Structure 1
Amino acid sequence: MLSLIGLIGGLLLLIVLTIRGMNLFIAAPLCALLVTITSGLPVFIGEHNFIETYMQGFSAFIAAWFFMFLLGSLFGKFMEDTGAADALSHWIINKLGRKQAVLAVVLACAVLTYGGVSVFVVAFSVYPMAVSLFKDANLPRRFIPATLAFGSVTFTMTSAGSPEIQNWIPIKYLGTSPFAGWEVSLGVAIFMASFGFWWIRRMLNKAVANGECFEVRDHDPKIKTRDYPHPFTGILPLLVVLILSFILHTHLQQMALIVALGGGVLCLMLINRNYFNNLQHAITAGTTGALIAIGNTAAVVGFGSIAKSTTAFQSAVEVMTHIPGNELIGAAIAISVIAGLTGSASGGQVIALPLIAPHYVDQGVDPEELHRIVAISSGALDSLPHNGYVVTTIRAICHETHQRAYWPLGALTVVVPLCGVTVAIAIFSFV
């Protein structure tokens, strides 16, 4: 009982500290230490002590996914520095019209995310344009994080064919491809996109009706006037990433994403070599951004590794993997809860899949169906306030507070994916 109280208390404390703005590199180990003590695990000396267990989870995640984060960050930073991302976003906006501010931002994020740009980098790249569009439309700026997140981490991040790691982690454990269950995935993505867009428009209209409007701030980014490349130079590298990942995934599995992102980076450097504003700065910023992004995620994965070692967690997994009835429902619940505990879709998958994949495959569950359910459900409860992407987007990028900006973001990135995975399970079960 004390272990369960400590596990729940540690998670709640992590959420509270995150909402209050504490750095995840401090908050996550501190809360993990609380879980360790209440579960009776050794702290400094002994087998599977706190230091070893936390750092094993932290370092293992970095070792497994460092090159994906690095190349994804460099790809996004090169898209930004050459002006390719802005050119592509401007093209989308010009086609839609500036009055369609929300739709323009969502589509810009969706195209970049599905093209392989790290969701962290997408937010950095599109934010300046989002500010300009929201200002022109006089929309409350506290909805900018929700708009960025909706276009990045819902209907694109976990869909079939997505180069994002949340769609690639299950391959290692299920022997599937990134296009697993693509027919159902397409329908679910359309549902989530439509439902989420309707919801954010409804929230915005209500806020505007209550008198909310755009607030100008001194630190608002200024979009520089420059010679932009043709929008096609932003589309071609995205196509390179998608095509290479499709061709190579059968032979290289997860390594195909490294090759695909590397190809995208080289393509960008070749076709936009004359448009680099500052190549050295882009490389430095890209590598630094990758380290921050993977570090924030790994810090929470370390917390998850401690949680995984407790008797309360093992009991919870045992209960969740033996939920009677539809196996896909059990898998969705297990992945969602564990991703919520770790505060990371990718981290939750890394922890949960070694435990649940063999269990459900042995029961005869179709690996492709399981892959898609795991991917979509991992992108729901992971977006609790302590999630690394949520913290970075709200605080570091948009300069907002959780109190102002989290609730619309949480609605779109928690509730919408939960509805999406429900639809996916229904289709897989009855078709």
Structure 2
Amino acid sequence: MLGIVGIFASLALLIFLAHRGWNVIFIAPICAAMAVAFNIGDLPFFASYTQIFMPALGSYFATYFPLFLLGAVFGKLMDESGAARAIAHQIVRWVGGERAILAMVLACALLTYGGVSLFVVAFSVYPIAASLFREAQIPKRLIPAAIGLGSFTFTMVALPGTPAIQNAIPIPFFKTTIYAAPGMGLVAAVFMFATGMLWLSRRTAAARRAGEGYGDHKEEFAAVDNANLPSFFLALLPILLVIGLNFLLSKYVIPAFDHSELATAKFKNIDLKKVLAIWAIIGAMLAACVVLALTNRQRIADLQGAINKGTLGSLLPMANTASEVGYGAVIAALAAFAVVREGLKAVTSDPVISLWLVVTVLAGMTGSASGGMSLALGAMGEYYVNAAQAAGINPEIMHRIAAMGSAAMDILPHNGAVITLLAICGLTHRQSYFDLFVVGSLTAFAASILVLGLYLTVGVF
């Protein structure tokens, strides 16, 4: 019993300190050590850090760092070239400034589905959103929710083919691709988009009835040169490359080659299916970065500087998530965690529902979609792979439901993306968090319930 208390106490401390602004890289091993201390005699104190925490952190780095790196560089190049702003401006022209919320959601969705990180999207789109919302007299407090709906809901975990890290984490476990369970993903994506837009529309209408308006906000935007933006189609080309090359490389190009050497000790007897999708994302993102740099070489004033900034910008989110994975590895090694794990598994015998429940709970507790899913799959991934095989469940369904579970309850106040987005918009939790939580988590939660219900009742997907 003391060991279980220690696990939850350490997790509560991790959440509290992260919410207070402490860096997860520093506090994760401390919180893991606290759990070890409660589980007296279970794990050697220092060995749990050097032999469990750090190897898990390193393994996560080795697997996913190229995705973080190339994603950050790609996003920085999209920003520096003006491509992100060009896409946002064109969508606004098509949709109309009077439909400011729809324009921002679609712009953010297109950018994030094309591989641009949330943070780059928020920085690029926010000034446009502020101008449109002010002109349309829509409360500024709804801007984070509009950006959030387009950036970290359906394009992050539901749409098949999205290069988001949350869609890549399940790949090595279930030997799937980023196109896993497209039917389930599309149904969920449409539901998230529709319910999110319905909520924001109703909130806008209620604010207009109350005569609220944009609000009194002092805003200072850095001067941005929009005179030399690329054309919409030139700006869109790298995004189309990411989407198209992902598909071609994973389905046709890479499998066409002989990979028998992977079955040797030199390559650790790896199964191609475990690395195929990640190779495809790396190839697609790299090609898109090259094309983006070549087609915008006159617009990117300092190519070396942009790449350096993107590279450095990838390190912090990568290290934060990897540290949470290391923390999870230590927790999973404790005997008390086996009791917690069995308790979660005992809630339902269906592997699909059980996986969704575990990922949802851990993503909510850690305040991180990628961290919670990595923690869940790192601790219980092998169990769910075997359970799915025994039950004859398509691993693609396991992949998609794990990804969706990671977004079902991760948008809590201590979530790093929430804190960053509110800071970019110059708003507080009190002003904007409620609407962000509704469109960012509750829509994903409801979409998960919908597809789980369809899966159980009519056996679709």
Q: Tell me if TM exceeds 0.5.
A: yes
Q: Deviations over 1:348-394 (max 9, x none)?
A: 33332324222322222111222221121122223333333233323
Q: Which residue of 2 aligns with 1:331?
A: 355
Structure 1 residue matching 2:109: 3-state secondary structure: helix
Q: Which residue of 2 aligns with 1:255?
A: 279
For the pair 1:363 / 2:391, whether they are aligned, the reply is yes
Q: Deviations over 1:378-414 (max 9, x none)?
A: 222233333332333233x334333433332222222
For the residues of structure 2 that align with 1:299 and 1:101, how far apart are their CA atoms? Answer: 38
What's the CA shift for 1:231? 0.6
Aligned pair in 2 of structure 1 residues 186, 331: CA closer, same or farther (>3 Å)?
same
Q: Which residue of 2 aligns with 1:378?
A: 406
For the pair 1:410 / 2:410, whether they are aligned, the reply is no
CA contact (8 A) 1:69 1:118 kept: no
Q: Which residue of 1 aligns with 2:22?
A: 22
For the pair 1:146 / 2:174, whether they are aligned, the reply is no
For the pair 1:424 / 2:451, whether they are aligned, the reply is yes
What's the CA shift for 1:237? 0.8
Q: Which residue of 2 aligns with 1:170?
A: 170
**What letter corresponds to residue 31 of structure 1 in structure 2?**
C
Normalising by structure 2, we get a TM-score of 0.85
Pick which of 245-254 and 150-159 moved more. 245-254
Q: Which residue of 1 aligns with 2:126?
A: 127
Aligned pair in 2 of structure 1 residues 404, 61: CA closer, same or farther (>3 Å)?
farther
Aligned pair in 2 of structure 1 residues 189, 173: CA closer, same or farther (>3 Å)?
same
Q: Which residue of 1 aligns with 2:8?
A: 8
Q: Which residue of 1 aligns with 2:228?
A: 227
Look at both structures and tell me which one has the larger radius of gyration over its CA atoms. Answer: 2
For the residues of structure 1 that align with 2:7 and 2:247, how far apart are their CA atoms? Answer: 40
Q: Which residue of 2 aligns with 1:273?
A: 297
Q: Which residue of 2 aligns with 1:108?
A: 107
Pick which of 86-95 and 226-235 moved more. 226-235
For the residues of structure 2 that align with 1:211 and 1:56, how far apart are their CA atoms? Answer: 53
Q: Which residue of 2 aligns with 1:76?
A: 75
For the residues of structure 2 that align with 1:262 and 1:86, how far apart are their CA atoms? Answer: 21
Aligned pair in 2 of structure 1 residues 42, 329: CA closer, same or farther (>3 Å)?
closer
Structure 2 residue matching 1:276: 3-state secondary structure: coil
For the pair 1:213 / 2:214, whether they are aligned, the reply is yes
Q: Which residue of 2 aligns with 1:311?
A: 335
For the residues of structure 2 that align with 1:183 and 1:18, how far apart are their CA atoms? Answer: 36
For the residues of structure 2 that align with 1:217 and 1:135, how far apart are their CA atoms? Answer: 12
Pick which of 154-163 and 221-230 moved more. 221-230
Aligned pair in 2 of structure 1 residues 282, 365: CA closer, same or farther (>3 Å)?
same
CA contact (8 A) 1:301 1:344 kept: no
Number of residue-to-residue matches in the alignment: 429
Aligned pair in 2 of structure 1 residues 87, 426: CA closer, same or farther (>3 Å)?
same
For the residues of structure 1 that align with 2:239 and 2:134, how far apart are their CA atoms? Answer: 29
CA contact (8 A) 2:111 2:121 kept: yes
Q: Deviations over 1:321-365 (max 9, x none)?
A: 343354321221122123234433223333323242223222221
For the residues of structure 1 that align with 2:445 and 2:133, how far apart are their CA atoms? Answer: 28
Aligned pair in 2 of structure 1 residues 28, 45: CA closer, same or farther (>3 Å)?
closer
- List gaps (5 residues or longer) in structure 2: 256-275
For the residues of structure 1 that align with 2:348 and 2:156, how far apart are their CA atoms? Answer: 30
Alignment of 1:344-359 (within 5 A): 344-353=368-377, 354-355=381-382, 356-359=384-387
Q: Which residue of 2 aligns with 1:156?
A: 155
For the residues of structure 2 that align with 1:80 and 1:174, how far apart are their CA atoms? Answer: 34
For the residues of structure 2 that align with 1:96 and 1:173, how far apart are their CA atoms? Answer: 41
Q: Deviations over 1:156-211 (max 9, x none)?
A: 11121111122122222212222221122212111110001111233344455374
For the residues of structure 2 that align with 1:219 and 1:307, how far apart are their CA atoms? Answer: 45
For the residues of structure 2 that align with 1:207 and 1:6, how far apart are their CA atoms? Answer: 46
Alignment of 1:377-396 (within 5 A): 377-395=405-423
What's the CA shift for 1:45? 4.4
Equivalent pairs: percent with the same residue? 38
**What letter corresponds to residue 182 of structure 2 in structure 1?**
W
Pick which of 25-34 and 414-423 moved more. 25-34
**What letter corresponds to residue 241 of structure 2 in structure 1?**
V
Q: Deviations over 1:82-136 (max 9, x none)?
A: 1111111100011111122211111111001111222333223322322222332
For the residues of structure 2 that align with 1:215 and 1:36, how far apart are their CA atoms? Answer: 50
Q: Deviations over 1:196-241 (max 9, x none)?
A: 1111233344455374633433544444332111010121111111
* RMSD (CA atoms): 2.5
Q: Which residue of 1 aligns with 2:260?
A: none
CA contact (8 A) 1:41 1:50 kept: no
**What letter corresponds to residue 350 of structure 1 in structure 2?**
S
Aligned pair in 2 of structure 1 residues 361, 401: CA closer, same or farther (>3 Å)?
farther
